[in-house]
Amino acid sequence: MIDVNTITSLRINCDGAHLHDEEQFLDLPQWESVRDFRLIGGVELPDHILNALRNVSFFNIDQDNDNMEITFESIFMFILSVLNRSDNFEKGQITSGNLDIPAPFINAHLILGNVSVTFEQNRITMEKCE
């Protein structure tokens, strides 16, 4: 039997289908103890997942097909309002064919507050600055 109160690593694979009603597990007290999170596949409202990553140390969102829309603006807001305020964040990555990164930012590296951000064609890598 698994004690859900001791889970610190969570991997959700919903490849081929969207994750729906993610608030049902994001609002649980057990979510606060998750430090390593990986999502494979799409999520209906990616901002819910992004905003819930405030206590997570490591995360990886890997979305192979192009049906998860994450805007460039929402990434900036996520970094500035969630990751910069997080005491636990260390590293994260978002991979998707639908990131909508403007051409001047592809292959760019920026420091946003205390987060180092690297933009690639289909990937954004974020690391806490030392």
Asked whether residue 91 carries a pLDDT value surpassing 80, the answer given is: yes
Please report, rounded to a whole number, the percentage of residues in the chain having pLDDT higher than 90: 33
Phi, psi of 92 (to 5 degrees): -150, 160
Per the CB < 8 A criterion, the answer to whether 101 and 72 are in contact is: yes
Mean pLDDT of 25-48: 74
pLDDT at res. 45:
61
Which two three-digit tokens encode residue 63? 């979305």
What type of residue sits at position 60?
A: N
Asked whether residue 41 carries a pLDDT value surpassing 80, the answer given is: no
* Rounded CA separation 76/100 (Å): 12
- Range in 7-11, 64-68, 119-123 the model is least confident about: 64-68
Asked whether residue 37 carries a pLDDT value surpassing 60, the answer given is: yes
* Rounded CA separation 73/123 (Å): 15
Beta bridge partners of 14: 41
Mean pLDDT of 93-103: 83
pLDDT at res. 65:
58
